[in-house]
Amino acid sequence: MVNDDAGRARALVEALGEPVVVLDSDRRLVAASPAAVAALGDGTPGRRVGEEALAVEPRPLVLFLAAVPELSAYQELRAGFTAAVSHELRTPLARLLVLLESTTLPGADVDELIEQARQEIQQARDLIDDVLFLGELETGREVVSLGHTRARPVVEEVVAALADRAEHAEVRVVVAAGSAVELPLRPRMLRVVVENLVANAIRYAGPGSTATVTVAQGATGSLLAVADDGAGVREADLPRLFERFYRTDQARSSRGTGLGLAIVKHVVTSAGGTVDARSAPGRGLEIVCRFELA
C-alpha cells in the first residue's frame, strides 16, 4: 500500500510545474517536481532532506506521505506543554502581585520592591521568549545549520556580554578555543547555544567556581564544551537535564526558565550533532556538543 501511495505521489508531483517535494515519516525524499529538483540540486529518491536543505529559493512546498501522529497523542502532548508553560508563568506573576501589594504597606521600601518587581517581569519575559523560540525551532521556522561559523569570536562575544553576571555570581569564565575552529551552525544559532551553556554554568556552578568554554577540532569532527568545577549534579538528574522545565533540587530557587538546555539540545541535534552531560556531586558539570565530519 505504501509503495502504491509513493508511486502515485511520484507520478503526480513530477508532472507539476511548481516546486513541490514529498517526504516520508523519516524525511526521506519520495518525489520532487522538476522545479524542486532544480532548486534542491539533488532529486535522488530515498535521501534524507533536512530543514536546512529546504531553505532555497524558490521555497518548495513540502508534503508528507506518512500520516501525522495520532491526534489523541498530539493533543495530550500539546496539553501537557501548555500546562507546564502556564505553571511556570504563574510563579513570577504571583510574586509580582505580592510585591506590588507590598508597596502600599507602611514603611515599605518602594524602590527595592519596584526593583524586585522588575526582575519578576524580566523572568516572565525570558520565559515567553524561550517558549516562542523553541516553538520556532520545532516548526522549522528557524534554519539551524546553514554553513559554518568560526566559533571563537562568537564565544568571546558571549562571554563578554555575560561578564557582569559572572562577576556577580563569583564565577570565573575561561575561553579555550582554537582561532580557526568552525562549527556547523549559523552565527545566531551558535550564539544561542554558547549563551545558554555559559549562563547555565554561571547560574548553578556556585561562588568561587571556574567555567571553561572549549572549542576544538579533532580527527572525526569538532566539539563545543562548557565545563565547571562547581557543585555538580546527581547522576540521577543527568538524563533529565535537557527536558523542558526540568530543574534539579538546587536549581529550583533560581530564576532560570528551565528551557535553556532543551534549546541547546534541539539546536545541536537539528544540526546533526549530539549533546552529553557528565557530572558528580562536588565535581562540577560538563556539557559537550559534538559534530562529526560530514
Q: For residues 223 and 172, state if they share a domain.
A: yes
Residue 168: its pLDDT value, please? 93
Q: Is the peptide bond before 58 cis (omega within 30 degrees of 0)?
A: yes
pLDDT at 288 over 80: yes
Does residue 144 belong to any structural domain of this protein? no
Nearest to residue 205, comparing CAs of 233, 224, 241, 240? 233
Residue 80: its pLDDT value, please? 47
Band of residue 20 on the pLDDT scale cut at 50, 70, 90: confident
Domain that holds residue 40: 2-64
**The C-alpha cell that represents 68 in the structure block:** 501525522
Q: For residues 183 and 231, state if they share a domain.
A: yes
The CATH number covering residue 95 comes to 1.10.287.130
CB neighbour list of residue 212: distance below 8 Å, 6 or more residues apart = 173, 174, 175, 176, 225, 226, 227, 228
* pLDDT tens sequence across 70-108: 444 445 445 545 555 555 566 667 777 777 788 888 888
Q: For residues 189 and 277, state if they share a domain.
A: yes
Residue reference for cell 526593583: 115
The CATH number covering residue 206 comes to 3.30.565.10
- Greater model confidence, 59 or 5: 59
Q: For residues 169 and 44, state if they share a domain.
A: no
pLDDT at 2 over 50: no
Does residue 45 belong to any structural domain of this protein? yes
Cα–Cα distance, 270 to 264 (Å, whole number): 10
Residue 249: its pLDDT value, please? 45
* pLDDT tens sequence across 132-179: 666 656 555 555 555 788 999 999 999 998 999 999 999 999 999 888
Among candidate residues 90, 111, 138, the one where a domain is terminated: 138
Q: For residues 168 and 228, state if they share a domain.
A: yes
Q: For residues 76 and 59, state if they share a domain.
A: no
Q: For residues 285 and 153, state if they share a domain.
A: yes
Among candidate residues 64, 89, 109, the one where a domain is terminated: 64
Domain count for the chain: 3
**Strand, coil or helix: 1:** coil
Among candidate residues 16, 41, 64, the one where a domain is terminated: 64
Does residue 10 belong to any structural domain of this protein? yes
Q: For residues 49 and 85, state if they share a domain.
A: no
Q: For residues 269 and 191, state if they share a domain.
A: yes
Does residue 35 belong to any structural domain of this protein? yes
Highest mean pLDDT among 33-37, 87-91, 124-128, 285-289: 285-289
Does residue 143 belong to any structural domain of this protein? no
Q: For residues 261 and 283, state if they share a domain.
A: yes
DSSP β-ladder status, 61-64 and 20-23: parallel
- How large is the C-alpha radius of gyration of the chain? 23
pTM of the model: 0.55
Q: For residues 183 and 256, state if they share a domain.
A: yes
Residue 248: its pLDDT value, please? 52
What does each C-alpha distance from 172 to 5, 120, 192, 264 come to in angstroms?
59, 26, 20, 22
Nearest to residue 140, comparing CAs of 207, 64, 215? 64
Band of residue 63 on the pLDDT scale cut at 50, 70, 90: confident
* pLDDT tens sequence across 177-231: 888 899 988 787 888 899 889 999 998 899 999 999 999 998 889 999 999 999 8
Band of residue 261 on the pLDDT scale cut at 50, 70, 90: confident
Q: For residues 252 and 128, state if they share a domain.
A: no
Band of residue 262 on the pLDDT scale cut at 50, 70, 90: confident
